[in-house]
């Protein structure tokens, strides 16, 4: 989890990407085709607000992972809450995902990034499926909507890609950034201090409990209330989330992020994230960085989930496009 020097990063990203994988530029081109050319905003979860806080592992966390973040001392965190979509004008009342991205940084300088969403599943089984879906949703010339026939053909050929939208469609959106669970979605290999390696997925559960909008709330609050609500809430008292691991049983697929494991699987609370400050407006420490989930540390190593393995390199490519004049 130690952040590599700039010279080492491209090599690490190359190693993180399977040989036959898509080029990171092809993946980000597909995001731009569907969502528009990247200027300064992220191509995914473009709308967001920076925050800061601290993560304190539990004794169980220290037992279950040798990673520096779980060593015992509180770890400062750079945080970004976001709303799904390619535009900073995305609606806060849309039935899409909200997000919680975190960079942990220990006193010794070890960094660990993650980007979590308010759904337990993802909308693609592989990076190739994600890119095919984005290509099917490519905007027409002069901002015309995507070709409905291409979208229908993609959906018919890739039914797994509809599971996340179906899950979200069955629920009202969160009432606050502070009142929804955020799932890591992908499985990881946790190496414990006992030498055991255990597959696990994580979720950040809100200490405030899960609360969703009513239809009347959504109409009253409108498309842009989440950041201000979070600022007001944190000004009153810190907002907390418990990080909980879920362990698979025999037969649970650790490589498929479109399927959630049954709720009765064993769980362990491994730490608490406390959000103590929210930026007063746009910008902040989370803006010029990307939450690059790199596979560098045996304490929380990648599983064989191809989606997880396909993430870091396109995130770096998107960061480069949104921070370099083009």
Show the tokens assigned to 186: 């992908």
Q: How far is the CB of 201 from ligand HEM (least distance, A)?
A: 10
Q: State the greatest distance between any 2 C-alpha atoms of the chain, in Å, as a whole number.
A: 59
The CA dihedral of 159, 165, 166, 172, to the nearest 10 degrees, is 180
The answer to whether residue 179 forms part of the interface with ligand HEM (CB under 6 A) is no
One residue of 127, 173, 248, 299 binding ligand HEM per CB under 6 A: 127
Q: Does 57 bind ligand HEM (CB under 6 A)?
A: no
Q: Does 115 bind ligand HEM (CB under 6 A)?
A: yes
Nearer to ligand HEM by Cβ, of 110 and 317: the residue is 317
- Residue 289's alpha-carbon distances to 39, 59, 299, 317, 320, in angstroms, are 15, 31, 23, 12, 10
Distance CA 199, CA 62 (A): 16
Tell me if residue 45 is catalytic: yes
Residue 42 lies near ligand HEM (rule: CB under 6 A): yes
Residue of 1, 17, 27, 45 with catalytic role = 45
In the complex with ligand HEM, which residue's Cβ is closer, 122 or 190? 122
Residue 80 contacts ligand HEM per CB under 6 A: yes
Residue 35 within binding range of ligand HEM, rule CB under 6 A: no
Interface residue with ligand HEM among 1, 16, 28, 260 (CB under 6 A) is 28
Spell out, one character per residue from 275 to 294, where the chain touches ligand HEM: x when CB under 6 A holds, - when not: ---------------xx---
Q: Which residue has the tokens 């409905």?
A: 148
Rounded CA Rg of the chain: 19
Q: Which is nearer to ligand HEM, 117 or 227 (CB)?
A: 117
Residue 185 Cβ vs ligand HEM, minimum distance, rounded to whole Å:
4
Q: Which is nearer to ligand HEM, 230 or 318 (CB)?
A: 318
User: Which among 11-19, 55-63, 195-203, 309-317 is the span making contact with ligand HEM, rule CB under 6 A?
Assistant: 309-317
Of 118, 74, 82, which Cα lies nearest the Cα of 238? Answer: 74
Pairing mode, strands 300-302 and 75-83: unpaired
Interaction between residue 125 and ligand HEM (CB under 6 A): no
| Binding region for ligand HEM (CB under 6 A) out of 136-144, 206-214, 247-255, 306-314 | 306-314
217 to 30, 91, 109: CA distances (angstroms) = 35, 14, 43
Q: Which of 21, 117, 203, 218 binds ligand HEM (CB under 6 A)?
A: 117
Strands (E) across the chain are located at 47-57, 75-83, 98-105, 111-117, 182-183, 188-191, 197-206, 239-246, 267-278, 300-302
Does position 296 interact with ligand HEM (CB under 6 A)? The reply is: no
Residue with tokens 């399977």: 18
How far from 305 is each of 188, 256, 269, 311, 313, CA to CA, in Å? Answer: 8, 6, 23, 11, 15
Taking the C-alpha atoms of residue 166 and residue 155, their distance in angstroms, rounded to an integer, is 13
- Residues near ligand HEM (CB under 6 A) are 27-28, 31, 42-45, 48, 80, 82, 99, 101, 115-117, 122, 127, 130, 184-186, 257, 290-291, 307, 310-311, 314-315, 318-319, 322
Residues labelled as active-site residues: 45
């Amino acid at each position: 989890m130690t952040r590599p020097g700039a010279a080492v990063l491209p090599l690490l990203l190359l190693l993180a990407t399977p040989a036959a994988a898509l080029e990171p530029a092809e993946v980000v081109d597909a995001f731009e085709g569907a969502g528009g050319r990247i200027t300064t905003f992220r191509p995914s979860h473009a709308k967001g607000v920076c925050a800061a806080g601290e993560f304190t592992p539990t004794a169980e966390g220290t037992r279950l992972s040798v990673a520096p973040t779980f060593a015992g001392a509180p770890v400062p965190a750079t945080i970004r809450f976001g709303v799904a979509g390619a535009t900073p004008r995305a609606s806060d009342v849309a039935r899409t995902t909200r997000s919680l991205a975190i960079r942990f940084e220990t006193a010794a300088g070890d960094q660990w990034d993650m980007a979590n969403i308010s759904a337990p599943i993802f909308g693609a089984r592989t990076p190739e499926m994600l890119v095919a879906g984005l290509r099917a949703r490519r905007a027409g010339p002069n901002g015309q909507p995507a070709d409905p026939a291409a979208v229908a053909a993609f959906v018919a050929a890739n039914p797994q890609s509809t599971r996340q939208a179906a899950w979200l469609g069955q629920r009202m959106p969160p009432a606050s950034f502070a009142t929804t669970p955020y799932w890591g979605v992908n499985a990881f290999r946790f190496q414990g201090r006992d030498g055991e390696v255990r597959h696990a997925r994580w979720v950040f559960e809100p200490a405030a409990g899960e609360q969703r909008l009513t239809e009347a709330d959504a109409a009253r609050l409108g498309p842009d209330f989440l950041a201000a609500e979070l600022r007001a809430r944190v000004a009153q008292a810190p907002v907390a989330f418990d990080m909980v691991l879920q362990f698979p049983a025999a037969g649970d697929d650790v490589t498929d992020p479109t399927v959630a494991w049954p709720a009765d699987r064993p769980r362990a609370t491994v730490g608490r994230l406390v959000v103590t400050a929210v930026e007063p407006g746009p910008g902040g420490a989370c803006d010029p960085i990307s939450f690059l989930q790199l596979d560098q540390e045996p304490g929380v190593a990648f599983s064989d989930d191809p989606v997880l393995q396909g993430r870091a390199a396109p995130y770096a490519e998107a960061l480069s496009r949104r921070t370099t004049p083009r």
